[in-house]
Structure 1
């Protein structure tokens, strides 16, 4: 006798159906219930009905015990996550005689795979995020980052999401950047509601995948910010970080709320990243040769991301491009579909950051931020940056799940324009500067003719 496993999606917000129960946002509930079949000669079977609240990747959640129990393709995320419920599934490797009826979405395995016919497994976005952090519970903020450790720290930036600090551990290891993001709390912070676990999970997953491209054999780049550690913590803001926040506010002013608003129950996600340097807006280039090197590094990084992950950044303004100094004679190497590309750095190294609005495809799952839910994103005016959000919307028809690599071309055109018209140069009268300004203008005249960064790189740099 076979066991029949039926897969049935239930939409977000649906009421209880049979044994299915709604347990809140970002939850999958799996009910194993014994049923009778009507058609002869088929005997009794066990059906597993699956309620899917469309928020995160089923393939990720069911690895929590160390064995791959279930793998799905294209599970749906409501805002920032995966789309199209359960097109494909894979049961544990120990199950024998596995077959898949794609038309009916039924998997069949030998009897005995589920000895208990009444089981329930509930996994939340909170648990998925904690697993990515290597934790089972949020850790005390003051224990993870005690004031003694934060003495060698300074605030270097801020945003609606939270605060950014430059951080040096006293035990050595160089500098890192920590990005402190309050989540799940009820107070409005910096004019916005706090992100939920399921929303921050998208950014963390994309950051991890892009960071890992530095070790990928077929598509490799080191131009995405290196994510060193992710921690989920709980508690009041550390005294030392409050001091640094107040110093920043006194010297520069701040648009953010004072972090004293957070109580002992406040949750945060802390991202620890490699120090990528200064952003493109504040960096002073030696000459346009360095700016050309920046553009080529960004183009190649986008091409690698497209090829490996169907990546779109979707917010690649010059504040999200970091630049650090390198040796003038250094080169940097990319691998695109197994073929190496070596570029001169001309003394700079690029790091691309901030994947809040980004989109990737991971194992058949689309992880993205649905900007259609945020119409205010398309109303700003002034800088060319704000026009780009509307151009992207026109390009993809406001379908943000759809893969449209031309958005990377739009942002690359913006970066080239900034390199020609807006960045600062120390030596603008040299022949080298004039030569590379011409190169940048030539590239700008051509870039919008390409459908993707990958197509551009293959044509221009892959010899």
Structure 2
């Protein structure tokens, strides 16, 4: 009889004991006092040492393991809102900038007061759309985030991603045709609305796999033809992919002289996973574990949960030539594709500053809009329900949409709070990623079969629909530890000191008023490369 397996139980020091040990460690956080709303059934580690210790508790043995039945409760989920209004055809949009007639302007006393306040108080650069993308440069709309449009800008200085958030300011009113068609504008925001996301970007600035923050500024005025054309092209492409998709960002044709946007400039992250063609088994291995490693590091350094990690918020780049996996690799599968990943959009994320004792977390209170959990328009909507269900029940049971209609519902630990740390939400998104990779693989069926066969046990513990008798991972770091213990990943690939530094990133947006000194003094952010090839011969 083989010995009884002990997955998830500590038996002896393992290779995973040293996982992340050589990475720069954040300061030790003192345990906070227990509150009524955050009293987990199984207390979650609250120090960096404890988190590292949790990772070392993983031991890979045979099936038939006897462990705890559900993920430990210590957390909270986040996600982006989705609107399900009717999509307005591009034919309803204007093809030239608006005339700016007074009767077409939407403007309230609050809007005017806010504009005056912004003009008087902002310390940010104020640019025009012509400054952002002058004639000869390229701008391409590539995504729509929870409250921002996302563009890629390319010029002689390089490439950047910009997130465009409409501030409180006047905009040309919808036409009667657009009104009848049901176009619903995304609500404008205040600069403070993105402070949390920018703070998280700062905390994760040097973690491989997370986007590089460059600068932010205000853009004001009418749109350029390039901006309008890429907006229309994006809408046509999105409508072909999903005919029922809602258009909830105003056409640039409606921008007026006083229309203002907060623009956050980020490093170029590559191509969104949803637009990347997966063709080799090594790509499956690397995309999955590159994401898991990045999340595991962020859990350790900032008690981070992404909470919205679907295929639009994950980008892929080919940074090296792929290499064939040698026969003598002895079970190593990680590091042969030459790919690197970048995790985007922290608008729904949760994190905190571990250098400050008892610092309040940065998080998004999703109870203010329960449509996050009642929507069914896309596969990722189910993950939002899984996250909220976990906060309420502390198990794998996913409550249906009808059970998510009461804000701040009472769970096993009191009223639901999104401030708590629940790294199991990262596991839920890794499970979503695994399914997406398998379902969207375009390569040889034998390669896919090999990947699924080798990762069968991984999926057993990752599967959010598994039974109560099946052990599960508690955080992304557990998933990485599993890969190390299984021999798929070499420990040297995870050692931070072995990562090579890549070129510093700086803003590529320079207005005519910027002199050379100002341009050269823009914010720069050194980054380490996430990619580390396998050391197997």
* Number of positions where the alignment pairs a residue of Structure 1 with one of Structure 2: 312
- Over aligned residues, Cα RMSD in angstroms? 3.3
Aligned-pair CA distance for 1:435: 2.1
8 Å Cα contact 1:177-1:274 kept in structure 2 = yes
8 Å Cα contact 1:142-1:238 kept in structure 2 = yes
2:211 equivalent to 1:225: yes
Q: Do the aligned partners of residues 320 and 252 (structure 1) sit closer, same or farther apart at CA in structure 2, a change above 3 Å counting?
A: closer
Aligned-pair CA distance for 1:223: 0.7
What is the TM-score normalised by the length of structure 1?
0.60
Aligned-pair CA distance for 1:442: 2.7
8 Å Cα contact 2:124-2:217 kept in structure 1 = no
Aligned-pair CA distance for 1:461: 2.4
**Residue number among 433, 447, 456 corresponding to 2:462 in the alignment:** 447
| Counterpart in the other structure of 1:457 | 480
**Residue number among 368, 375, 385 corresponding to 1:373 in the alignment:** 368
For residues 298 and 263 of structure 2, the distance between their equivalents in structure 1, rounded to whole angstroms, comes to 24
Q: Do the aligned partners of residues 259 and 376 (structure 1) sit closer, same or farther apart at CA in structure 2, a change above 3 Å counting?
A: same
Aligned-pair CA distance for 1:370: 0.5
8 Å Cα contact 1:388-1:410 kept in structure 2 = yes
Query: Helix, strand or coil: the match of 2:420?
Result: coil
Aligned-pair CA distance for 1:159: 4.8
8 Å Cα contact 2:170-2:258 kept in structure 1 = no
| Counterpart in the other structure of 1:241 | 227
| Counterpart in the other structure of 2:303 | 310
For residues 383 and 184 of structure 1, the distance between their equivalents in structure 2, rounded to whole angstroms, comes to 30
| Counterpart in the other structure of 1:206 | 200
Q: Do the aligned partners of residues 167 and 330 (structure 1) sit closer, same or farther apart at CA in structure 2, a change above 3 Å counting?
A: farther
Q: Do the aligned partners of residues 249 and 409 (structure 1) sit closer, same or farther apart at CA in structure 2, a change above 3 Å counting?
A: closer
Q: Which has the higher contact order (CA 8 A, sep 6+)?
A: 2
Q: Do the aligned partners of residues 410 and 248 (structure 1) sit closer, same or farther apart at CA in structure 2, a change above 3 Å counting?
A: closer
Q: Do the aligned partners of residues 326 and 396 (structure 1) sit closer, same or farther apart at CA in structure 2, a change above 3 Å counting?
A: same
Q: Do the aligned partners of residues 418 and 442 (structure 1) sit closer, same or farther apart at CA in structure 2, a change above 3 Å counting?
A: farther
8 Å Cα contact 2:146-2:347 kept in structure 1 = no
For residues 251 and 378 of structure 1, the distance between their equivalents in structure 2, rounded to whole angstroms, comes to 26
8 Å Cα contact 1:242-1:259 kept in structure 2 = yes
| Counterpart in the other structure of 1:164 | 150
Gaps of 5+ in 1: 1-73, 75-124, 214-220, 332-341
Instruction: Write 1 or 2 for the structure with the bigger share of strand.
Output: 1
2:271 equivalent to 1:275: no
Query: Helix, strand or coil: the match of 1:285?
Result: coil
For residues 133 and 339 of structure 2, the distance between their equivalents in structure 1, rounded to whole angstroms, comes to 34
For residues 259 and 352 of structure 1, the distance between their equivalents in structure 2, rounded to whole angstroms, comes to 27
Aligned-pair CA distance for 1:287: 2.0
For residues 450 and 190 of structure 1, the distance between their equivalents in structure 2, rounded to whole angstroms, comes to 40
| Counterpart in the other structure of 1:285 | 278
| Counterpart in the other structure of 1:402 | 420
Gaps of 5+ in 2: 1-31, 33-113, 174-182, 240-245, 325-332, 393-415, 464-471, 486-490, 492-537
Aligned-pair CA distance for 1:152: 2.4
For residues 251 and 385 of structure 1, the distance between their equivalents in structure 2, rounded to whole angstroms, comes to 20
Q: Do the aligned partners of residues 249 and 383 (structure 1) sit closer, same or farther apart at CA in structure 2, a change above 3 Å counting?
A: closer
